[in-house]
Chain A
Amino acid sequence: MSTITFRLNEKNISLEADPASRLLDLLREDLGLSAVKEGCGEGECGACSVLKDGVLVNSCMVPVGTIEHCSIETLEGLRETDEGRCIIEAFADTGAVQCGFCTPGMVMASIALLRSNARPTLEEIKVALSGNLCRCTGYDMIIKGVQLAAERGDGIW
């Protein structure tokens, strides 16, 4: 075990953890952040998406030892912000949510996209979501949700 110091959802945090353990497990089990889901544990599905220093990563691929001094953002830290609310409301309005298991990851991927590109094209949205698998929706309504969030979020992004 080692002391790991990092920034989590805008707060500095320091805790004991095994550096080889997965960020996913640290967030879900030690910190109770269950918006981060495990869908595959092999970097393929995106359900465990978080932001590391502002960029989208799969937390199942990240050993805790590599987040020292990094900033980690999870949906818990974003869902009450203007950005988070904008995406969540847009997803609700376009029918982007069905079983919901992929949705937190989709929201994170959408935030990552819109932060860097406030007016994405259809193709750019598809690329940005391509690492987040959904088995319920067929993606159209999620894509429309991102488009709606971009449209409504003028000034937020």
Chain B
Amino acid sequence: MMTKKISDSIRRVDAVDKAGGYTQYISDMSFDELHYGRLVRGLRSHARITHIDLPALPDGYYFITKDHIPEGGKNEIQQIGTDWPVFADDEVTFYGETIGILVGPDREKVLEIERSISIEYEKLEAVFTIDDGLAMKTGLINGTNNTYADYHLNKGDVDAGFARADQIIEDEITTGFQEHLYMEPQGMVAQYVDGDYIITASCQCPFYLRKAVANVLNTDKEHIIVRQAVTGGAFGGKEHFPDIIAAPLVVAARVVGKPIQVVFDRKDDISFTAKRHPSRGIFRTGLDKEGNIVAMDVDVTINAGAYMSCSNIVLQRAIFSINSVYDIPNVHVRGRSVATNAFPSDAFRGFGAPQGIFLAEMHLSHIASHLGIDPASYKQRYFISKGDTTITNGLMHDEVKLPLMLEKAAEASDLYEKQRLYATGSGKGMGVSFYNHGAGFTGNGEKEIIKARLRMKKHRNGHVDILLSNVEMGQGLQTTFPKIAAAILEIPMEDISCDNPDTSIVPDSGPTVASRSLMVVGKLVERASQQLKERWDESPEVEVEVKYIHPEGCQWDQETLQGDAYPTYGWGVCIVEVEVDPATAEVETKGIWTVHDVGIAIDEMIVHGQVNGGVIQSLGYGSLEKLEYKDGRFYQNTLADYMIPTSMDFPMMSSQLVDNPYENGPFGAKGLGELVFDGASAAFADAVQQAIGKNINRIPVTPEYIMEVMNS
């Protein structure tokens, strides 16, 4: 019997096995006659391949290229688009594009062969930055203007708003690349057994992987079996990128007939996997005599790289986040995802929202500082409320508890007293950010694209299986899903299993992305559990299947990007206190306070774990994680040079929750995995600008950049 609240913390089901080192990740698993694969990459930013000089291969060693794609198969990976080829097709369009895959049983031998492959190129011109891409400096990479998408959002009457403006504030704000740095590098094993392809992968989306390679192999999806291996962190980096490894690997598996492992070394993982999109926001904001915003015009661009991947969906979220928690009158946002010869950017926790929120939070802070008003107070003027119109002209359905959340965060951090004590430019500063995150897929994606299904099965012995395709990657789903079921079925957690998905066994409940799993799929678990409970005594074995139901009253037009972009939002307030060293411009973070509204926490300890991890990852993004693209490649490409936070970089944080149940989430829960990343970098940057008394316009806010700003 449940005697406790759903939010009361329980021990994670996977904790002891993981802490004891019993858990096997992909690189720990044994396969008979395992072969090893190395991707042979085009180490040019843009070049035509003129010749590949391959040494004579010993027996049992293979160099697999596009010529090995089975008959009828296509040299294209099915993602949202199909532009990313499995193997570079005569031309390398970014540094690190796959040309072939070298396979063999002995790794020393494979290395030896790799060293003697020589590839000749004819150099072509390349562009790497948003501006050079837009200027089409080297001609067309994509479409007619080197963008993958060019969106416009209009709310109110922007021209009329500007006509009333007393002054106009202009701003240009940018964000950089960010590496996921999941602790377990990319890895998978593929084998071809009796006509079936079996892919065992560290991944977020088993059914994405299946779809990605089906056309390459020219085979029915049923013959492709994807098994998720325990996944050692992902953060979006194992959403689409595993497709890029799996596609050449399955082609090789068919030829070689043995299981083949590809596990990236860390340096390869940093050098040759997708990153968070760099972004830029150019703002023009009109203010009336009282300093109120009368109109805002924003140009948002993101560096998408050489292939589209999911950049346009990232861009949508970025532009929808430009007003995040604010109801601002008369807004126009243009958004473009720009094609360049940079490594294609891809999903990363927050999926465009962290960029959009950072750009807008900094701009609003700059306006406030310009007006001599404390940014947090200024921003409060524009807090959106229930019933207000969103930037996509949808309706804010949620009750918005931001004022209460700010009050709690301010009290915990002693915000107002410290603001009084720390004069602007005193070297000490308090930064505040406000943010929300639309939970689940954009618009009607759940209804039109994902169409999630989920099964639950009661066995004769009373044991229950939850069959779904969402993966445990650290966020706790294998604890929270059974916890929901146990609470409804009123049976012990131990009697419920929720195993790593295998696409030949589980229904497609969708990918593990977009803060959708607990809210959308968890709701299916809740509904299936209710049905199973009702039918429990029907027969010794009972199986129920449930399908996604779209929330009533949520309207969306994907063509015009108008309506309710998300069914609901998680909300957050983050306060950061910093002290800047006058001699070195190093920043000491003295305190971090957050308050989040995640609906109802399914498990408080898991939620606080997400908050802590998300906030620190965001602070890394905002302060340490410099990743430059230099000479057409990532410059900080080792763990000695790409800096993520250690245990010593930030203080222990305070995190609070407010309840705000959402009827379409299980027990009232909303999505939160990305929310908790979205705002801390802006709070950090805001704190630094209060401390130094000058505007910050980009992240990461490194000491080098602070010194540059202080000198200017």
Interface residues of A (CB under 8 A from B): 28, 34-42, 44-45, 47, 74-76, 79, 84, 87-89, 91-104, 107, 122, 125-127, 129-143
Instruction: Provide the bound-state CA to CA distance between A143 and B647, in Å.
Output: 8
Given contacts A92-B11, A129-B646, 7 further A-B contacts (CB under 8 A): A42-B266, A79-B22, A97-B18, A101-B25, A107-B21, A134-B183, A135-B644
20 A-B pairs with CB atoms under 8 Å apart are: A35-B20, A37-B25, A37-B27, A37-B183, A39-B184, A40-B266, A40-B638, A89-B16, A93-B11, A95-B12, A95-B609, A98-B475, A99-B231, A100-B18, A101-B184, A107-B19, A132-B647, A135-B233, A138-B613, A139-B646
Known contacts A34-B28, A39-B266, A44-B640; A97/B19 CB under 8 A: yes
| Residues of A with C-beta under 8 A to B14 | 97, 100
The reply on B616 being an interface residue by CB < 8 A is yes
For the A-B complex, the count of residue pairs with Cβ-Cβ distances under 8 Å equals: 174
Contact (Cβ within 8 A) A104 B605: no
Known A42-B640, A138-B615; judge A92-B21 contact (CB<8 A): no
Q: Would you list the 3 A-B pairs with minimal beta carbon distance, nearest first?
A: A35-B21, A100-B18, A99-B474
Chain A CB within 8 A of B421 CB = no
Please name the residue on chain A nearest to B646 by beta carbon: A130
A124 to chain B, nearest CB (A): 11
User: In the complex, which residues of chain A have a beta carbon less than 8 angstroms from the beta carbon of B639?
Assistant: 40, 42, 44-45, 133
| Chain A hits for B647, CB < 8 A | 125-126, 129-130, 132, 134, 139, 142-143
Q: Is B15 among interface residues, defined by CB-CB distance under 8 A?
A: yes
Contacts of B341 in A (CB 8 A): none
CA distance A37 to B182 in the complex (A): 13
Write out the residue numbers on chain B whose beta carbons fall within 8 Å of the beta carbon of A130. 646-648
Q: What's the Cα separation between A140 and B592 when bound, in Å?
A: 12
- Whether B15 and A92, one on each chain, are in contact in the complex, defined by CB atoms closer than 8 angstroms, is yes
- Given A40-B639, A79-B20, A134-B183, the answer on whether A100 and B232 have CB atoms closer than 8 Å is yes
Q: A-contacting residues of B (Cβ < 8 Å)? A: 9, 11-12, 14-25, 27-28, 180-185, 230-235, 265-267, 473-476, 605-606, 608-609, 611-617, 638-640, 644-648, 650, 652-653
B607 to nearest A CB, angstroms?
Answer: 10
From A40, A42, A92, A138, B612 is in contact (CB under 8 Å) with A138
* B608 near A47: Cβ-Cβ < 8 Å: no
Residues of B within 8 A of A104 (CB): 18-21
Cβ distance A7 to chain B, nearest Cβ, rounded Å:
19
B530 CB, nearest partner CB in chain A, Å = 29
A75 and B21 contact, Cβ closer than 8 Å, known pairs A100-B14, A135-B644, A140-B612: yes
- Determine the distance from Cα of A139 to Cα of B606 in the docked complex, in whole angstroms: 14
Least Cβ–Cβ distance between B231 and chain A, in angstroms: 7
- Which A residues touch B476, using CB under 8 A? 98
Instruction: Count chain A CB atoms within 10 A of each CB in B15, B609, B611 and give the residue with the most.
Output: B15
Chain A, residue nearest B474 (CB): A99
> Which of the residues A39, A89, A129 comes within 8 Å of B183, measured between beta carbons?
A39
A126-B648 contact given A104-B21, A138-B612, A139-B616, CB 8 Å threshold = yes
From B18, B473, B475, residue with most partner A Cβ within 10 Å: B18
Q: Return B572 CB to nearest CB of chain A, in Å.
A: 15
Question: Which B residues touch A91, using CB under 8 A?
Answer: 15, 19
Known: A41-B266, A135-B233. A143 touches B184 (CB 8 A): no
Q: In the assembled complex, how far is the CB of residue A9 from the closest CB belonging to chain B, in whole angstroms?
A: 12
**Cβ–Cβ < 8 Å partners of B638 in chain A:** 40, 42, 44
Closest to A125 in B: B647
Which residues of B are found within 8 Å of A42, using beta-carbon distances? 266-267, 638-640
Question: Which residues on A sit within 8 Å (CB–CB) of B653?
Answer: 138, 140
B617 touches A88 (CB 8 A): no
* Residues of B contacting A75 in the complex (Cβ-Cβ under 8 angstroms): 20-21
Chain B residues in 8 Å Cβ range of A107: 19-21
What residues of chain B lie closer than 8 Å to A37, measured between beta carbons? 25, 27, 183-184, 232
Q: Which residue of A lies closest to B606 (CB)?
A: A95
Which of A36, A74, A92: most chain B CB closer than 10 A?
A92
| Neighbouring A residues of B640 by C-beta, 8 Å | 42, 44
The answer on a CB contact under 8 Å between A137 and B609 is yes
Contact A97 B12 (CB under 8 A): yes
CB B418 to nearest CB in A, in angstroms, measures 22
The CA-CA distance from A97 to B474 in the complex, in Å, is 8
**Cβ B609 vs Cβ A141 within 8 A:** yes
Residue numbers in A under 8 Å from B646 (CB-CB): 129-131, 133, 139
Known contacts A97-B18, A107-B19; A135/B183 CB under 8 A = yes
CA distance A102 to B83 in the complex (A): 36
CB of A138 within 8 A of CB of B23, answer no
Question: Across the interface, do B16 and A92 meet the contact criterion of CB distance under 8 Å?
Answer: yes
Contacts of A87 in B (CB 8 A): 19
Which residues of A sit under 8 angstroms from B12, Cβ to Cβ?
92, 95, 97
A35-B20, A136-B474, A139-B616 given; A100·B605 CB < 8 A? no
